[in-house]
Structures are given as structure tokens and as C-alpha cells.
Amino acid sequence: MKVLKIIFLNFLISLTIIITIELLLGYWFDKNNFGQYMREHRMKKNDYTLLLDGITYNFTYERNYYGFIGEHIEPRDIKAVFIGGSTADERYKPRNLSIVENLNKKLSNKNINLKIVNAGIEGQSTLGHLNNFKTWFKKLENFNPKIIIFYIGINDYLADLDNLNERKERDGLISNPNKKEMIFDYLKSSSIFYDLLRKIKHKYYKSDKPRVVYDFNKSILELYKNKKFDFLNYDSALNKFDIKKITEQNQKRIDYYLKNIDELNKASKNIGAQAIFINQLMSDGNNNETLFILNYSLIKHCKRKNYKCIDLGKKLNGKKDFWWDGIHTTIKGSKEISNLIFDDLIALISLDNI
């Protein structure tokens, strides 16, 4: 009995010390505690292999402590952010070959002291981007970027407009939809011990999981197995479509999309940032009339509202090897997109304020 009492007493003392440390050093009462949000997008590392043109790329996809793609950077040091869905995230290729890093190389070559930080999240539409401001960015102390670049269009073309309420928390999975797991996510994000363990694991990461393999050449062959490459450029689309007719047919989606654009512009201004919107295309170019009219409506809206926008849908003349699955770009595609938008991007940025 005496031994049991000693064990129980030691247990109580240890538990009291742990609880005290948690209350004093943990994030239980921290207004910037991520809570149930962003757990799947912070301190993540995944190993991938890319096969393309006879070259094997082995690389690690990494998201840092604050949820951004790449190495650690303090929120106060971030001046420009790139936001989008999986076409911005680009986890399927080495980071140095992504759109964002191609832009950063060009900035460096021009001796422009600016680095764009990637905040892309797979699956996000403009609805998810708005959630970023509410559940992610507001948790980042001294996060005051001067520029926020939105690379948008495809996921809003794909979005289910009939179930918006259900999609609000699921868009990009910023929050785990499982209610039970949300509670555990909150507990984990609040614990100082769990936070320290995750930091150590992230720093000294070694994975024994099988690598995820992307074979771009095989995917391109499969994509065009039963169809030919048919890219429609912007000028041809203007001749092909009845703008008034397809606008009326897609009015609900256009109104929803432009409303989100207005809210994103406002949310950016509220944290002192200038929003820049870039539309995008899939492998069929402007053949998709719904995506075409979203892109067309965005640029028209930007001119009316005096927003800063880049019309990639008008500029891009796609080639067969620019996309590996019809939506996501290959190394060549990402490089071409960065080439097409760079000059316009620099023209829109007020470098004196960076």
C-alpha cells in the first residue's frame, strides 16, 4: 500500500507539473492559437518522385511552421504571397520548378529585393481563399504583406454552387470535417509539448513511407489516348462564343465568383496589401466556355472596379506538354506561365512600397 501511495503521489506531482507548464507555456489562451484549423497544412513534409523526359526528380514537399510552402520564414518578413489551389501549390514537382519559384528567380535576376511566398492549398477555390483570412492569416502575428497574388478560376469553375454552406469549412480542408478529430486538433495545437515534438520531428524528418510517384510522360499519354490536343486561344474563342449568351447561362456562377473577388480585394486591403488577380486555363485553353466566361468576366470586372489583374487566359498559347493531367502544369507549363505574367506583375507592383 505504501508503494502504491508513493507511486500515486509521484503521478499527481508529475501531472501537476505538466499541467502547470502547459498553462504557462502552452497556447490554450493564446488568441493566435490555430485551434482546429490548419493542422494538415503546417509542419508537413512528404517525399515525391517525378518522372519526366528520362529524368528522375526525387524531392520533398515541405510546409513550414506557419503553413507556407518552403523553408521557415517569419510572418513579419513576408512581403508578397501567392494564393491559389493545387495549380499554385504544385506539390507534384520540385519547388524550384514551380510558378512561384520561377518568378522569384526572375526577381532575383532583375535585382529586385522581393520574394514571393507560396500559400497555395490543394482544392481551394475563392471560398477557401476567403477562409484563409478568417482562420489562418489572422493567427499570424505581424503578418502584413504588401502584395497578395490570387491565381484563380479553375476551382471556381469546378465548384458546387448548390452546397455552399457545406463547402465553407471543407474548401481546401483548412479544418478537418470530422467533429471528433476537430477536438483533438484543437488539443494538439494548444499543447506546448506536442508543438515541440512536431518541431523536432519536422526538423529532423526522415520518412520510411513509400514515395508518391508522378509519371508526367505516362499521364500525358493517357490524357490524349482517346482525344487530340485541342487548345483554343483567346481570339478564336471571341469568334466562337456568343458572349451575351454564355454570360446569361453562367450568371449565377459569375455573380458568386465576382462577389468573392470583391471580398478578397477588401480582405487584402484590410491587412494593408494590394491584391493582384490572375486567371488561368486548362489544357483545352478557352474551349471550356464556363471557364472562359469566368476569366472574361474577371477582367471586365477588374477594369470596372479598377482592380489589378493579369489576363493569362488571353496571353497563353498552350502546348501539349504544358499540362500533365489537363489541369496541372508540367515543368514547361509552369515556366511559360511565369514568363507570361512576370512583366505585367512587375508593372502592377509598386516597388517603392516594398
Cα–Cα distance for residue pair 300/289, rounded to 1 Å: 16
CA–centroid distance for 185 within its chain? 21
Q: How many domains does the chain have?
A: 1
pLDDT of residue 44: 86
Following DSSP, what letter does each residue of 234-292 receive, concatenated? HHHHHHHS-HHHHHHHTHHHHHHHHHHHHHHHHHHHHTT-EEEEE---BTTBTT-HHHH
> Among 148, 6, 180, which residue's Cα sits nearest to residue 68?
148
Q: Is 170 part of any domain? A: yes
pLDDT of residue 159: 87
Q: Name the helix (H) or strand (E) containing 82.
A: strand 80-84
Cα–Cα distance for residue pair 268/194, rounded to 1 Å: 32
**Residues spanned by the domain of 282:** 67-174+214-349
Q: Is 187 part of any domain? A: no
pLDDT of residue 210: 72
Cα–Cα distance for residue pair 139/347, rounded to 1 Å: 31
User: Which DSSP category does 181 fall into?
Assistant: H
Q: Is 183 part of any domain? A: no
pLDDT of residue 162: 80
Q: Is 7 part of any domain? A: no
Bridging pattern class, strands 44-52 and 55-63: antiparallel
CATH at residue 261: 3.40.50.1110
Tell me the pLDDT of the chain (354 aa) as tens digits.
Answer: 666 666 656 666 665 666 666 566 555 555 666 655 666 777 788 899 999 999 999 999 999 989 999 999 999 999 999 999 999 999 999 999 999 999 999 999 999 999 999 999 998 999 999 989 988 999 899 999 999 999 999 999 998 888 766 666 566 556 655 666 566 566 666 666 565 666 566 566 666 667 889 899 999 999 998 889 999 999 999 999 999 999 999 999 999 999 999 999 999 999 999 999 999 999 999 999 999 999 999 999 999 999 999 999 999 999 999 999 999 999 999 999 999 999 999 999 876 566
User: Which DSSP category does 33 fall into?
Assistant: -
pLDDT of residue 343: 96
pLDDT of residue 175: 60
Instruction: Enumerate residues 6+ apart whose C-beta is below 8 A from 250.
Output: 289, 290, 293, 294
| DSSP bridge pairs for 56 | 51
CB atoms < 10 A from the CB of 30, how many?
Answer: 13
Give the angle 101-107-112 at the CA atoms, nearest 5°.
Answer: 145
pLDDT of residue 101: 98
Q: Is 188 part of any domain? A: no
Q: Is 345 part of any domain? A: yes
Cα–Cα distance for residue pair 176/36, rounded to 1 Å: 7
pLDDT of residue 69: 96
What letters, b where the CB count within 10 A reaches 16 and e where it falls short, cover 117-134? bbbbbbebbbbbbbbbbe
pLDDT of residue 42: 79
Q: Is 18 part of any domain? A: no
Following DSSP, what letter does each residue of 40-69 receive, concatenated? GGSSEEEEEEEEETTEEEEEEEEE-TTS-B
Q: Is 309 part of any domain? A: yes
CB atoms < 10 A from the CB of 73, how many?
Answer: 14
pLDDT of residue 163: 75
Cα–Cα distance for residue pair 323/85, rounded to 1 Å: 16
- To 10 degrees, the CA torsion angle through 210, 212, 214, 215? 10
Write down the H helix ranges in the chain.
2-25, 86-89, 99-109, 126-135, 154-158, 164-167, 179-190, 192-203, 216-223, 234-240, 243-249, 251-270, 289-305, 312-315, 331-348
Cα–Cα distance for residue pair 208/307, rounded to 1 Å: 47
Instruction: Enumerate residues 6+ apart whose C-beta is below 8 A from 73.
Output: 64, 66, 117
